[in-house]
């Protein structure tokens, strides 16, 4: 049986957990003090040896990403933390920043030192004011205490951190769109290469990592590579925050080693909603293929989930019980993608809009058998785009057709949705 391993989530329930004094009382900034006595390269090597993979969805090894930066040329190098948490179902970075922003700042100090950065950025989605307050406050406290500034923790190392609030755009979670946005442009993805490691922010060498990735760096400095690797699976070392939402008794954030199963997590969350059965679940946000009870015993790590035909993404585990209409859910996700497509690449802009219109028509009861062909054809033609938004958009749809094709056909045959909308709600069907 897998048990939980709270590391990042450990302090969230404590009073004033976001304050510097409380963070330091719990041993905060010890890892940064230690790291600043290490050679930068030794930190990169340690993070590589630990096997820390990006927690923002793609799972790319963080230390390897850092080592892609070219040799210093005397010009600036940047660390940008991606806090644009917007993938549907993903809800771990916002509580992290609200409850324990100093852990991220400490990880940023260590990472910045490792890559030779003197001005680091946090790109926070703009729709979370209280999270931004806590971040600004943490930076202010750290600066006043000499933890940031010209003499980081009493050394000669200089580091500034700017927390930046965006303006509302899912696509800015894509790293090159994020950089364009941070440069003051429309947040549209760039053609790669060049990759950000070579030409990132202001065309300078840049590391971009997710909040959770950087927040795991301090524990790795303190615990070491073997400690980190003692948790998780062979290719997915360590632990991560698994976010359970939807029709479970106790939705929430469950920090566990990779390899935990969905059955175990649902048990920890008190099981499926009383009186109902699991229908389908998403392993990593909306841009992944859905699973059913067939995959409940799959060990959740990056590679296992890919082998099973989906992606672990951001570990945004959304649970839907037997009251839910799959057409309704998938059409809503497609509305999301059509809304959030930046419009730069035609296949994504047009493809998501066509799929949205077709799906919404079917859900509303106006679908025709020919619409089923459209749903089958369009996904394969959304390719060749600058970023993966378009390619990810139809994954839930495709997998839903695999498991629940008859449900789509039933909508078309009946000319209406056969499900009771009221039955899905958290307030037991009491609908206005």
Partner 1 sequence: MSYDTGTRQSLERDAAQVVARYPKPRSAILPLLHLVQSVDGFVSPDGIEFVADTLGMTTSEVSAVATFYTQFKRQPNGTYNLGVCTTALCAIMGGDAIYERLREYLGIEDGQTTGDGMFTLERIECNAACDYAPVMMANWEFFDNQTPESAVALVDALRAGKPVAPTRGPDKLPTFKENERVLAGFPDGKADQGASAGESSVRGAELADEKGWAAPPYPAGGAAAPKGTKGEERK
| 12 is a site residue for partner 1 (CB under 8 A) | yes
Give the other-Cβ count within 10 Å of 284's Cβ: 25
The backbone torsions φ and ψ at residue 264, rounded to the nearest 5 degrees and listed phi first, read -60, -45
The answer to whether 108 touches 120, Cβ cutoff 8 Å, is: yes
Closer to partner 1 at the Cβ: 130 or 151? 130
**Among residue numbers 123 through 182, which ones bind partner 1 (CB under 8 A)?**
125-130, 132-134, 136-137, 140, 162-170, 181-182
Closer to partner 1 at the Cβ: 223 or 383? 223
**Among residue numbers 191 through 220, which ones bind partner 1 (CB under 8 A)?**
202, 219
| 328 is a site residue for partner 1 (CB under 8 A) | yes
Bridge partners of 162, per DSSP, are: 121
CB 365 to partner 1: min, Å: 16
| 37 is a site residue for partner 1 (CB under 8 A) | no
Query: Which residue, 260, 267, 213, is CA-closest to 233?
Result: 260
CB 183 to partner 1: min, Å: 6
Q: Residue 335 corresponds to which tokens in the numbers above?
A: 């509305």
Q: Is 235 helix (H, G, I), strand (E, B) or coil?
A: coil
CB 48 to partner 1: min, Å: 8
CB 269 to partner 1: min, Å: 7
The answer to whether 262 touches 335, Cβ cutoff 8 Å, is: no
DSSP of 173-196: GSHHHHHHHHTTS---PPPSSSPT
The answer to whether 176 touches 387, Cβ cutoff 8 Å, is: yes
Closer to partner 1 at the Cβ: 66 or 254? 254
| 18 is a site residue for partner 1 (CB under 8 A) | yes
Q: Which stretch binds partner 1 (CB under 8 A): 320-328, 349-357, 359-367, 383-391?
A: 320-328
DSSP of 357-379: HHHHHHHHT---HHHHHHHHHHH
Report d(CA 262, CA 256) in Å as an integer.
11
Closer to partner 1 at the Cβ: 213 or 233? 233
Judged by CB under 8 A, the residue of 183, 274, 293, 420 near partner 1 is 183
CB 205 to partner 1: min, Å: 14
| 370 is a site residue for partner 1 (CB under 8 A) | no
Closer to partner 1 at the Cβ: 231 or 378? 231
CB 268 to partner 1: min, Å: 6
**Which helix (H) or strand (E) element contains residue 18?**
none
CB 152 to partner 1: min, Å: 18
CB 429 to partner 1: min, Å: 9
Judged by CB under 8 A, the residue of 212, 264, 340, 363 near partner 1 is 340
CB 352 to partner 1: min, Å: 13
- Count of positions on this chain that bind partner 1 (CB under 8 A): 122
| 397 is a site residue for partner 1 (CB under 8 A) | no
Judged by CB under 8 A, the residue of 46, 69, 103, 378 near partner 1 is 46
**Among residue numbers 403 through 422, which ones bind partner 1 (CB under 8 A)?**
421-422
**Among residue numbers 49 through 108, which ones bind partner 1 (CB under 8 A)?**
49-50, 76, 85-91, 93-95, 98-99
Beta strand pairing status for 239-246 and 316-321?
parallel
CB 27 to partner 1: min, Å: 10
Query: Which residue, 128, 107, 93, is CA-closest to 207?
Result: 107
Closer to partner 1 at the Cβ: 54 or 246? 246
Query: Which residue, 235, 253, 27, 221, is CA-closest to 113?
Result: 221
Judged by CB under 8 A, the residue of 250, 277, 402, 413 near partner 1 is 250
Closer to partner 1 at the Cβ: 14 or 263? 14
The backbone torsions φ and ψ at residue 80, rounded to the nearest 5 degrees and listed phi first, read -125, 120
Q: Is 49 helix (H, G, I), strand (E, B) or coil?
A: helix
Give 350's contacts (C-beta < 8 A, 6+ positions apart): none
Query: For 118, how many CA atoms within 13 A lie in the half-sphere containing its CB?
Result: 10
The answer to whether 326 touches 410, Cβ cutoff 8 Å, is: no
Give 116's contacts (C-beta < 8 A, 6+ positions apart): 40, 69, 72, 77
Judged by CB under 8 A, the residue of 15, 74, 369, 370 near partner 1 is 15
């Amino acid at each position: 049986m897998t048990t939980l391993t709270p590391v990042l989530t450990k302090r969230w329930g404590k009073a004033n957990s976001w304050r510097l004094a409380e963070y330091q009382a719990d041993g905060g900034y010890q890892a940064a003090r230690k790291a600043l006595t290490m050679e930068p390269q030794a930190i990169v090597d340690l993070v590589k040896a630990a096997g820390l993979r990006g927690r923002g969805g793609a799972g790319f090894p963080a230390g390897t990403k850092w080592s892609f930066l070219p040799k210093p040329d005397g010009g600036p190098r940047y660390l940008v933390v991606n806090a644009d948490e917007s993938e549907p179902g993903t809800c771990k970075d916002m509580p992290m920043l609200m409850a324990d922003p100093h852990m991220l700042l400490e990880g940023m100090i260590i990472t910045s030192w490792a890559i030779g950065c003197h001005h680091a950025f946090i790109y926070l989605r703009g729709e979370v004011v209280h999270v931004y307050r806590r971040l600004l406050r943490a930076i202010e406290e750290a600066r006043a205490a000499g933890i940031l500034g010209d003499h980081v923790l009493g050394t000669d190392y200089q580091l500034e951190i700017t927390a930046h609030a965006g303006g509302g755009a899912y696509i800015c979670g894509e790293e090159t769109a994020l950089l364009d946005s941070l440069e003051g442009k429309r947040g549209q993805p760039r053609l790669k290469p060049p990759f950000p490691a070579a030409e990132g922010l202001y065309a300078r060498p840049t590391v971009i990592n997710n909040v959770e990735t950087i927040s795991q760096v301090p524990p790795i400095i303190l615990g070491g590579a073997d400690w980190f690797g003692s948790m998780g699976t062979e290719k997915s070392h360590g632990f991560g925050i698994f976010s359970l939402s939807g029709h479970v008794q106790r939705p929430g954030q469950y920090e566990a080693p990779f390899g935990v199963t969905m059955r175990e997590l649902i048990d920890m969350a008190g099981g499926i909603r009383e009186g109902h059965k699991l229908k389908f679940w998403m392993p990593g946000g909306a841009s992944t293929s859905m699973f059913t009870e067939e995959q409940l015993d799959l060990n959740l790590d990056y590679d296992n989930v890919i082998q099973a035909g989906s992606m672990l993404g951001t570990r945004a585990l959304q649970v839907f019980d037997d009251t839910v209409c799959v057409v309704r859910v998938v059409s809503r996700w497609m509305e999301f993608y059509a809304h959030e497509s930046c419009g730069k690449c035609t296949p994504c802009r047009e493809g998501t809009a066509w799929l949205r219109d077709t799906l919404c028509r079917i859900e509303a009861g106006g679908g025709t058998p020919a619409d089923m062909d459209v749903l089958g054809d369009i996904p394969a033609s959304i390719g060749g785009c600058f970023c993966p938004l378009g390619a990810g958009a139809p994954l839930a749809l495709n997998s839903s057709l695999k498991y629940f094709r008859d449900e789509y056909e039933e909508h078309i045959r009946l000319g209406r949705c056969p499900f009771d909308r009221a039955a899905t709600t958290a307030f037991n069907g009491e609908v206005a």
